[in-house]
């Protein structure tokens, strides 16, 4: 499935520093327009640009003066990314789309947390009014609360918080009569005060039985949560592998429908990846903490369009340390070809990996991509998951890190 021509950002925030970057990933010039809409779905701001192939454009999202959503449309394929900063709290999201499996009628958030403030914004991307039902469950999969919103206008949104959910630790499922994209913000109160984590709801239209987490490190505090999203008991296995793809740790569990499982990944020594398999459908999420820096990722899979043979990162940044890990999730050795471009779309550097064994990985950093502000493209001979970490320099956003998967544009 190719890259989308329309992407959605569920929120542009008042009082935060919003940054949105769009990249034309086609071989032809693209006409791009960004439109911000208010709670009623009415246009309050717009901006357009013409982009050359692989040129990046930063929309002036900070000039939007009211709470809004942002929809970016193009006559050629595009990808995008949004960051939202307030001191050491930062949220980062890819541009959502049906092609990227981040817009759908049934979403699941693998975590809500009573040790912080949970906040959700749900955007109706359909052409008719949406009726949306929310099911809040505890970690054992038992329903704690249910509530709904009827008649959300097309391109308008709905917010809910801890107040509606009952401030528990567990999961949230959403079911809608129209396609939606859901955004979650978690502001920690204890344990990681000064940090925040954001996730898009995971679409359950094509659920998976195998998840990939390309990196776990003994130098960070790693946390992984898996949820059985089937209506039957699931047997789940987590396996950690080293850079050569050799198993170094494993753990098993059985979980009831919608029950969560936290494998004891802190027992893993060294740098590894983790693959989680089950005999029923699962979703997952990983957080990686160090001080106020937090990296958070969904479990990657082919079905969820977070593993593929052509990956694109809409941003690299010279004002921090960029670090990438590419995990080969195929069945044969994989070669990865990297193209580093500047913001104008000009190729600045190219690198090729050696053969990466199945379930092994390859790491590159600023040194290999020449520490530029621009974009990164990876072309792979096997299905691959690409993970990026950006650690900002102290004079830019002190104590802040963000993480993104490469966006699949096969």
Q: What is the CA radius of gyration of the chain?
A: 20
Say if CB 246 and CB 185 are below 8 A apart: no
* Residue 304: inside a domain: no
In this structure, are 277 and 227 located in the same domain?
A: yes
Supply the pLDDT for residue 124: 98
Residue 257 lies in a domain: yes
> Does one domain contain both 196 and 212?
no
Q: What percent of the chain has pLDDT over 70?
A: 100
Same domain, 340 and 272: no
Say if residue 317 is in the same domain as residue 404: yes
Q: Enter the pTM of the model.
A: 0.97
Residue 191 has pLDDT above 80, yes or no: no
Question: What is the pLDDT, as a whole number, of residue 249?
Answer: 97
In this predicted model, what pLDDT tens digit does every residue of 360-403 receive, in sequence order? 999 999 989 989 999 999 999 999 999 999 999 988 888 899 99
Q: Based on the domain organization, do 89 and 109 belong to the same domain?
A: no
Structural domain including 220 reads 208-290
Q: For residues 138 and 258, give the distance between their C-alpha atoms in angstroms, rounded to a whole number.
A: 9
pLDDT tens, position by position, 87-102: 889 999 999 999 999 9
Residue 266 domain flag: yes
Burial class of 307 by CB neighbour count within 10 A (0 to 12, 13 to 18, 19+)? buried
Segment 206-224 shows an average pLDDT of 93
In a domain, 297, yes or no: no
Whether 305 is covered by a domain: the verdict is: no
Instruction: Give the residue with greater pLDDT, 356 vs 194.
Output: 356
Looking at 153, 177, 203, which one is the last position of a domain? 203
Last residue of a domain, one of 94, 122, 146: 94
Shared-domain flag, residues 330 and 369: yes
**Residue-wise DSSP of 294-336:** EEEEEPB-TTTT--EEEEEEEEE-TTEEEEEEEEE-SSS-B-E
Does 90 map to a domain? Answer: yes
- Predicted confidence (pLDDT) per residue in 154-172, tens digit: 999 999 999 999 999 999 9
pLDDT grade, residue 296 (50/70/90)? very high
More confident position, 1 or 170: 170
CA distances from 135 to 32, 98, 176, 400 (A): 37, 23, 12, 33
Burial class (CB in 10 A: 0-12, 13-18, 19+), 40: exposed
- Please tell me whether residues 134 and 199 are part of one structural domain: yes
**What is the tally of structural domains in the chain?**
4
pLDDT at 190 over 90: no
Q: Are residues 233 and 317 in the same domain?
A: no
What are the tokens at 115? 């040790």
My answer on whether 194 and 225 are in the same domain is: no
For 226-261, the pLDDT digits (tens) are 999 999 999 999 999 999 999 999 999 999 999 999
What are the pLDDT digits (tens) for 307-324?
A: 999 999 999 999 999 999
Asked, for residue 1, whether it belongs to a domain, the answer is no
Q: Indicate if 89 and 112 belong to the same structural domain.
A: no
Per-residue model confidence (pLDDT) at position 1: 59
Arithmetic mean of pLDDT, 63-74: 96
Q: Are residues 13 and 82 in the same domain?
A: yes
Residues 272 and 338 in one domain: no
| CA separation for the pair 202, 174 (Å, rounded) | 10
The CATH number that applies at residue 276 is: 2.60.290.11
Last residue of a domain, one of 94, 123, 146: 94
Q: Is residue 301 part of a domain?
A: no
Predicted local confidence at residue 26, as pLDDT: 97
Measured CA to CA in angstroms, residue 33 lies from 64, 75, 173, 408 at distances of 15, 9, 32, 22
Short-list 299, 302, 285, CA closest to 384: 302
Closest CA to 18 of 80, 73, 102, 97: 80
Confidence tier at 278 by pLDDT (50, 70, 90): very high
What end-to-end distance do the CA atoms of the chain give, in Å?
A: 6
């Amino acid at each position: 499935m190719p890259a989308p021509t329309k992407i959605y950002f569920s929120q542009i925030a008042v009082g935060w520093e919003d940054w949105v970057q769009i990249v034309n990933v086609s071989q032809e010039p693209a006409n791009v327009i960004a439109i911000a809409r208010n709670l009623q779905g009415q246009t309050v701001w717009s901006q357009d640009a013409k982009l050359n192939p692989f040129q990046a454009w930063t929309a002036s999202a900070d000039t939007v003066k009211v709470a809004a959503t942002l929809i970016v449309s193009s006559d050629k394929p595009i990808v995008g990314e949004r960051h939202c900063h307030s001191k050491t709290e930062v949220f980062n999201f890819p541009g959502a789309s049906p092609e990227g499996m981040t817009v759908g009628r049934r979403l699941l958030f693998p975590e809500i947390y009573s040790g912080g403030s949970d906040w959700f914004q749900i955007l109706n991307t359909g052409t008719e009014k949406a009726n949306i039902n929310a099911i809040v469950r505890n970690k054992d999969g038992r329903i704690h609360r249910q509530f709904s919103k009827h008649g959300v206008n097309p391109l308008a949104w709905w917010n809910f918080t801890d107040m509606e959910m009952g401030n528990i630790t567990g999961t949230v499922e959403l079911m809608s009569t129209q396609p939606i994209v859901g955004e979650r913000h978690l502001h920690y109160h204890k344990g990681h005060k000064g940090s925040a984590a954001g996730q898009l709801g995971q679409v359950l239209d094509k659920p998976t039985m195998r998840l990939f987490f390309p990196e776990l490190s003994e130098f960070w505090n790693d946390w992984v949560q898996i949820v059985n999203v089937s209506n039957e008991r699931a047997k789940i296995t987590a396996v950690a592998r080293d850079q050569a793809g050799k198993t170094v740790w494993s753990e098993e569990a059985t979980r009831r429908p919608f029950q969560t499982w936290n494998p004891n990944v802190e027992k893993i020594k060294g740098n590894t990846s983790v693959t989680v398999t089950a005999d029923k459908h699962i979703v997952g999420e990983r957080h990686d903490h160090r001080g106020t820096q937090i990296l958070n990722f969904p479990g990657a899979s082919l079905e969820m369009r977070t593993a593929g043979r052509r990956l694109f990162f809409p941003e690299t940044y010279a004002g921090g340390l960029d670090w990438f890990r590419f995990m080969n999730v195929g069945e044969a050795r994989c070669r990865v070809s990297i193209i580093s471009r500047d913001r104008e779309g000009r190729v600045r550097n190219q690198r090729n990996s050696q053969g990466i064994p199945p379930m092994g990985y390859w790491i590159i950093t600023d040194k290999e991509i020449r520490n530029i502000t621009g974009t990164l493209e990876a072309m792979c001979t096997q299905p691959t998951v690409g993970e990026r970490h950006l650690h900002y320099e102290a004079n830019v956003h002190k104590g802040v890190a963000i993480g993104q998967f490469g966006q699949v544009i096969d």
